[in-house]
């Protein structure tokens, strides 16, 4: 399966999950699907039969509310029986509505923003101390970048030349109530990240070739790598794209059917 086909499957499974449990945040989940598809199909070094393999690459999802697309890709990559996704958001399930480390393949639980990057810095430091040549990738929402803890972490990461750290900003420019620009303008990400010591790449976060090229080893210098991925919230479902309401709303049966058809026909 190539990463494009995988991304379609992730989108469909994610939609079915939020529909089934009447959950929120589908727009945020769809926004980062292509990033996940490229990482899990072409980049990350892992063994789904041995999810705790010490030398694996690790992905930390800091925007934990977008969990369905990560659960979906882990299920599609056989970290667990994909049928378990039907328990998502249900009583007693390990598949919580924010990403949960109780699920095989999930490294870290988040839900409160601004925790993933500092935690990833700790992993990157640990790998350096152990002289393990694996990498840690962390996906942040753009609104989340306002959390001060991220900037503390970047200071440490660049000071200690953590070149095994890849920070990915899912830059869909839409947060809880309106655009990031209108909420607390964070531009220019590039200038800020460069000032904090990162090697920075801007790209189209839905272009698999650009993503794959950005994650290649040639971009891992002596600095942490920051990828500013320009994305569209709700990507792949026309009536969800760039709409704040899909941060909250769950598709009904009719909307789900239209969304699945759009993805199949894309």
Partner 1 sequence: MRNKFIEILVKEASKNDKIVLIIGDLGYNVVEPFQEQFPDRFFNAGICEQNMASMAAGLASEGFHVFIYSIANFPTFRCAEQLRNDIGYHNLNVTVVTVGGGLSYGNLGYSHHAIQDLGLIRLFPEFKILAPGDPNETIACMKNLFSSNGPSYLRLKKAGEPNYNTQEVLLKEGVWNKVISSKNNKIFLTTSGGLSLAIKLLKNKEFEDFGIYSCPIWGAFYKDSQQKQIDFFDQVITVEDHLLDCGFGSWIRESITNPNSHLKISHKGLTKNVVGKVGSEEYLYKLDNL
| Residue ranges that bind partner 1, judged by CB under 8 A | 101, 107-112, 114-115, 118-127, 129-130, 148-149, 152-153, 155-156, 160
The residue (of 64 and 236) whose beta carbon lies closer to partner 1 is 64
As a whole number of angstroms, the distance between CA 82 and CA 65 comes to 20
The residue (of 55 and 181) whose beta carbon lies closer to partner 1 is 55
- Do residues 70 and 102 lie in contact, with contact meaning Cβ atoms separated by under 8 Å? no
Alpha helices by DSSP H, listed for the chain, are 3-21, 26-31, 33-38, 67-76, 116-130, 148-159, 180-184, 189-195, 208-214, 253-265
As a whole number of angstroms, the distance between CA 110 and CA 232 comes to 22
Q: In sequence order, which residues have a C-beta less than 8 Å from that of residue 109 and are 6 or more positions away? A: 64, 96, 98, 99, 100, 101, 102
The residue (of 152 and 262) whose beta carbon lies closer to partner 1 is 152
The residue (of 112 and 216) whose beta carbon lies closer to partner 1 is 112
- Smallest distance, partner 1 to C-beta of residue 80, A: 19
- Smallest distance, partner 1 to C-beta of residue 139, A: 15
The residue (of 29 and 99) whose beta carbon lies closer to partner 1 is 99
Q: Token match 């590039």: residue?
A: 190
- Smallest distance, partner 1 to C-beta of residue 164, A: 12
- Smallest distance, partner 1 to C-beta of residue 121, A: 5
Pick the closest to residue 70 from 98, 112, 42 (CA basis): 98
Give CA torsion, residues 172, 178, 180, 184, to 10 deg: -170
- Smallest distance, partner 1 to C-beta of residue 225, A: 17
138 beta partners: 60, 167
Pick the closest to residue 72 from 88, 56, 93 (CA basis): 88
- Smallest distance, partner 1 to C-beta of residue 112, A: 6
The residue (of 110 and 171) whose beta carbon lies closer to partner 1 is 110
The residue (of 3 and 100) whose beta carbon lies closer to partner 1 is 100
């Amino acid at each position: 399966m190539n990463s494009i086909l995988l991304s379609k499957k992730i989108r469909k499974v994610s939609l079915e999950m939020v529909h089934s449990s009447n959950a929120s945040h589908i727009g945020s989940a769809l926004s980062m699907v292509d990033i996940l598809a490229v990482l899990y199909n072409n980049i990350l070094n892992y063994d789904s039969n041995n999810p705790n393999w010490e030398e694996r690459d690790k992905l930390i999802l800091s925007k934990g509310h977008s969990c369905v697309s990560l659960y979906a890709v882990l299920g599609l990559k056989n970290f667990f029986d994909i049928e378990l996704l039907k328990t998502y958001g249900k009583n007693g399930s390990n598949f919580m509505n924010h990403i949960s480390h109780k699920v095989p393949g999930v490294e870290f639980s988040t839900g409160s923003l601004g925790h993933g990057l500092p935690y990833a810095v700790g992993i990157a430091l640990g790998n350096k101390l152990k002289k393990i040549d694996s990498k840690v990738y962390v996906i942040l929402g753009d609104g989340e970048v306002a959390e001060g803890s991220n900037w503390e972490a970047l200071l440490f990461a660049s000071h200690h030349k953590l070149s095994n750290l890849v920070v990915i900003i899912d830059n869909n420019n839409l947060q809880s109530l309106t655009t990031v620009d209108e909420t607390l303008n964070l531009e220019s990400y590039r200038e800020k990240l460069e000032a904090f010591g990162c090697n920075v790449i801007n790209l189209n976060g839905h272009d698999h070739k650009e993503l794959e090229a950005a994650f290649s080893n040639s971009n891992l210098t002596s600095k942490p790598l920051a990828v500013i991925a320009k994305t569209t919230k709700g990507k792949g479902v026309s009536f969800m794209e760039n709409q704040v309401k899909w941060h909250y709303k769950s598709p009904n049966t009719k909307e789900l059917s239209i969304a699945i058809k759009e993805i199949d026909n894309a």
